[in-house]
Amino acid sequence: MRKTLPIGPDLHIGDGSFVVMAGPCAVESRALLDEAADAVAAAGAGMLRGGAFKPRTKPSSFQGLGPEGLRLLADASRRTGLGVVTEVLDPRDVDLVAEHAAMLQVGSRNMQNFPLLREVGRQRKPVLLKRGAAATIDELLHAAEYILNEGNEAVVLCERGVRSFDSSTRYLLDLAAVPVLQRRTSLPVIVDPSHGTGVADYVAPMSKAALAVGADGLLIEVHARPDEALSDGHQALTPARFAKLMTELRQLAPSFGKQLAAASREAPRRGAADTRSFDDKVIAP
């Protein structure tokens, strides 16, 4: 049985709804964030994404605005009514990020950061756990167990592509992971076609493919001006392309037994989701 998790104000995942989380890779400025947030809200996204703490391969790359980015996200959340999903990199920042976000993202680089997994397991917000770029499905499930074992059972898994020999795409988006994970666990599974392909042109086709293979939602990067983005501009959709994709997904979803989930237009309530109310076994041995 698929698990239905509350992941924001009046928003559930895993209940047959298809939840699209969208926004910029990184929060860069209030103006750019607001433009992207307004666009994704208008197009019917379920949640706003955006990184305040960015895990960058090179230390000289833009590292995110940190706490100021969290404040901008919280403001955008209040304005649009969209709950925020944002990455936490450091176990010491978990409480701060949880104060501002509806959902905490553990990124691919931290999938096996066990102290961080335990720490997000101890707080009460839902967690978006991304598959490591070189992690097996078993390793992803074991990482999820670290969170579940601390008492937080609101874990959403995210397939975001694995490394391969082929550089035609940034990573190899493993869509077979969706049915495999759904056989092994009742946790919701979403797909990130932005990092999974690294190319804006491939995001729409792979989004539709993710819907078709039974994913519970998507994580998509949208930037008001992708050419000027400080990170991942090459894979970001413009607001117009995102709106077109959302229209297509809305039409396609019923054919796959899904309904596109829209956020409630009310301002998010703090601490709305109780993540500890599940007691059945969520990962098969």
Chain residues that interact with ligand PEP, rule: CB under 6 A: 25, 51, 55, 107-109, 130, 160, 192, 195
In the complex, what is the shortest distance from the CB of residue 162 to ligand PEP, in angstroms, rounded to a whole number? Answer: 11
For residue 224, give the nearest of 75, 87, 38 by alpha carbon.
38
- Whichever of 5 and 52 has its CB closer to Mn ion, that residue is 52
| Smallest separation (angstroms) from ligand PEP to the CB of 257 | 27
**What sign does the dihedral 222-224-226-232 (CA atoms) show?**
negative
- What is the residue type of 87? E
Q: What is the residue whose two structure tokens read 């010491």?
A: 92
β-pair partners for 51: 26
Closest CA to 124 of 144, 142, 97, 143: 97
Are the C-beta atoms of residues 11 and 83 closer than 8 Å to each other?
yes
130 interacts with, out of Mn ion, ligand PEP, none, CB within 5 to 8 A per kind? ligand PEP
Closest chain position to ligand PEP (CB) = 107
Q: How far is residue 150's CA from residue 17's CA, in Å, rounded to a whole number?
A: 27
Contact 268, 81 (CB under 8 A): yes
Q: Cβ distance 24 to 236 under 8 Å?
A: yes
In the bound state with ligand PEP, the residue whose beta carbon lies nearer, of 195 and 258, is 195
Give whichever of 100 and 195 is closer to ligand PEP, judged by the CB atom.
Answer: 195
The entry of Mn ion, ligand PEP, none near residue 36 (CB within 5 to 8 angstroms by kind) is: none
Partner from Mn ion, ligand PEP, none contacting 108, C-beta within 5 to 8 A by type = ligand PEP
Cβ nearer to ligand PEP, comparing 55 with 66:
55
Query: Which residue in this structure is represented by tokens 């190319």?
Result: 199
Pick one of ligand PEP, Mn ion, none as the site partner of residue 121 (Cβ within 5 to 8 A by kind): none
Rank residues 5 and 89 by Cβ distance to Mn ion and give the closer one. 89
Residues of this chain that interact with Mn ion (CB under 5 A) are 25, 232
3-state secondary structure string, 10-40? CEEECCCEEEEEEECCECCCHHHHHHHHHHH
- Min separation Cβ 277 and ligand PEP, Å: 28
> Rounded distance, CA 238 to CA 243, Å?
9
Q: How far is the CB of 90 from Mn ion (least distance, A)?
A: 18
Residue number of the CB atom closest to Mn ion: 25
Nearer to ligand PEP, 11 or 129 (CB): 129
CB of 221 to Mn ion, least distance (A): 6
Supply the minimum distance, in Å, between the C-beta of residue 85 and ligand PEP.
Answer: 9
Measured distance CA(110)–CA(30) in Å, rounded: 27
CB of residue 232 vs Mn ion: minimum separation in angstroms?
Answer: 4
Q: Are 124 and 101 in contact (CB under 8 A)?
A: no
The 8-class DSSP code of residue 173 comes to: -
Whichever of 153 and 192 has its CB closer to ligand PEP, that residue is: 192
